[in-house]
Amino acid sequence: MHMPAEQAFWCLVQICDKYLPGYYSAGLEAIQLDGEIFFALLRRICPMAYRHLKKFKIDPILYMTEWFMCIFSRTLPWASVLRVWDMFFCEGVKIVFRVGLVLLKHTLGSVDKLRSCQGMYETMEKLRSLPVHCMQEDILLPEVSSLPVTDALIERESNTQLRKWRENRGELQYRPSRRLHGAKQIYEEKARLNPTLSGSRLSLSSMRRPSPPATPALAVQPESVVVSEGLRPALPSPTSNKAPLGPPRGTTKKGKEKQREQDKKREREERDREKKREKEDREERRKEKEREKHKEKEEKRLQKEREKVETRQKKERKFSFRRKESSTPDSPRNSGAEATESSAAHDTYF
């Protein structure tokens, strides 16, 4: 909408190849893998929403496919979409994860919000109709910027979920490539793959022939190096012998074993953290069950007390009714019998 046709096309190519590689491949394996990453991040950011979705077995692909594949262009208001896309092009896919986490936090992140979601159908309806106030740019963007989801965290979770995918489902059909987080990494990748600089960026002073030394006693001048104007090289020059591009030649078997041990140590630590999180979840579920049992016992006790009170009130009403009947004057039948007896006694006397 804001670019010429050719620039918009190449922008789409960059999104599909660099920012979101594999999203539109056969089987949507990349979006499913990112769904598992998103679910693992949700466990860190909003455990209440994570437990609710896991309780009703709502897979991430059921609600986040439209969010991620369209980069929220069909979900958010247009003003928020423009700002989210600016941040996405600048910082990369972590912005998409952050926006999804913020929306879930506002939708399912408290007990009051979960009261109206007592089933899978109600939860999906709520995810389809997100709260309007949380999608406004003045509320959404500050929370997206402050959310602690970094490139390193996404890469770590990506490696973990990729390993689990291969263990449970086998090898992926598409070849997962390295994801580039934002315009800076894409530019650095391009510079690494195409190290030759164009003539317009070469410094004219570096192209001049070096002048001979003034006196033979001076030391030999260093070799002239082509430097881009106004840019500091982030990678070593491929034509220089001072910093080789490949791995150092002195890499020994001992160093490889040390690296392997470090990788195993990191994997063990990751497994320990995963076990710890699972233990915390089990403990939380156990406490929640105990609270529910205690609540049921309390309700039963209150019900018994109410029944006792009602029974006592019924007895008191019945007793008061009997006492009232006994305290009423004699009936006409009794008064007639007494009159007959008195007349009989009078006749006997006379």
Q: Read off the amino acid at residue 256.
A: K
Q: What is the pLDDT of residue 171?
A: 84
Q: How much of the chain, in percent, has pLDDT values that exceed 90?
A: 32
Domain coordinates in residue numbering, the chain: 5-187, 268-327
pLDDT at 191 over 80: yes
> What secondary structure letter does DSSP report for 261?
H
Q: How far is CA 179 from CA 91, 151, 182, 185, in A?
A: 12, 10, 9, 9
Of the listed ranges 15-29, 172-186, 230-244, the one predicted with least confidence = 230-244
Mean pLDDT value across residues 300-307: 89
Mean pLDDT value across residues 145-169: 91
The strand ranges marked E within 46-94 are none
User: How far apart, in whole angstroms, are the C-alpha atoms of residue 206 and residue 2?
Assistant: 40
User: How far apart, in whole angstroms, are the C-alpha atoms of residue 339 and residue 350?
Assistant: 17
Q: Which of 51, 43, 104, 124 is nearest to 289 (CA)?
A: 51
Q: What is the pLDDT of residue 114?
A: 87
Summarised one tens digit per residue, pLDDT across range 99-145 is 999 999 999 988 888 888 888 999 999 999 898 999 999 999 999 99
Q: What is the pLDDT of residue 103?
A: 94
Summarised one tens digit per residue, pLDDT across range 55-93 is 999 999 899 999 999 999 999 999 999 999 999 999 999
| 288 confidence band (pLDDT: 50, 70, 90) | confident
Greater confidence, 338 or 125? 125
What is the gyration radius of the CA atoms in the chain, in angstroms? 40
How many other β-carbons are positioned within 10 Å of the β-carbon of residue 84?
23
Q: In CATH, what number does 5-187 get?
A: 1.10.472.80
Q: Which of 52, 59, 66 is nearest to 110 (CA)?
A: 52
Contact 195, 49 (CB under 8 A): no
SS3 43: helix
Q: Of all residues in the chain, what percent are helix, strand and coil, respectively (each to 5)?
A: 70, 0, 30
| 212 confidence band (pLDDT: 50, 70, 90) | low
Q: What is the pLDDT of residue 268?
A: 85
User: How far apart, in whole angstroms, are the C-alpha atoms of residue 198 and residue 220?
Assistant: 29
Q: What is the pLDDT of residue 252?
A: 63
Q: What is the pLDDT of residue 145?
A: 93
Greater confidence, 173 or 137? 137
Q: How much of the chain, in percent, has pLDDT values that exceed 70?
A: 77
Backbone angles phi, psi at 24, to 5 degrees: -110, 25
The strand ranges marked E within the chain are none
Of the listed ranges 258-267, 289-298, 303-312, the one predicted with least confidence = 258-267
Of the listed ranges 12-16, 31-35, 218-222, the one predicted with least confidence = 218-222
Summarised one tens digit per residue, pLDDT across range 46-55 is 999 999 999 9
Q: What is the pLDDT of residue 198?
A: 45
Q: Read off the amino acid at residue 71.
A: I
Q: What is the pLDDT of residue 274?
A: 78
| 7 confidence band (pLDDT: 50, 70, 90) | very high
Q: Which of 40, 44, 45, 19 is nearest to 30 (CA)?
A: 19
Q: What is the pLDDT of residue 43?
A: 92
Contact 140, 134 (CB under 8 A): yes
Give me the sign of the Cα torsion angle 232, 237, 242, 247.
Answer: positive
pLDDT at 336 over 70: no
Q: Which of 67, 101, 60 is nearest to 81 (CA)?
A: 67
Summarised one tens digit per residue, pLDDT across range 220-267 is 444 444 443 444 444 444 444 444 444 455 456 677 778 788 888 888
Q: What is the pLDDT of residue 330?
A: 53
pLDDT at 97 over 90: yes
Q: What is the pLDDT of residue 105?
A: 92
Q: What is the pLDDT of residue 52?
A: 92
- Beta bridge partners, 111, equal none
User: Residue 241 burial (CB < 10 Å; 0-12/13-18/19+)?
Assistant: exposed
User: How far apart, in whole angstroms, are the C-alpha atoms of residue 124 and residue 90?
Assistant: 32
pLDDT at 317 over 50: yes
Mean pLDDT of the chain: 79
Greater confidence, 282 or 213? 282
User: Residue 96 burial (CB < 10 Å; 0-12/13-18/19+)?
Assistant: buried
User: How far apart, in whole angstroms, are the C-alpha atoms of residue 184 and residue 180?
Assistant: 9
Give the pTM: 0.56
Q: How far is CA 73 from CA 2, 49, 85, 140, in A?
A: 15, 24, 9, 15
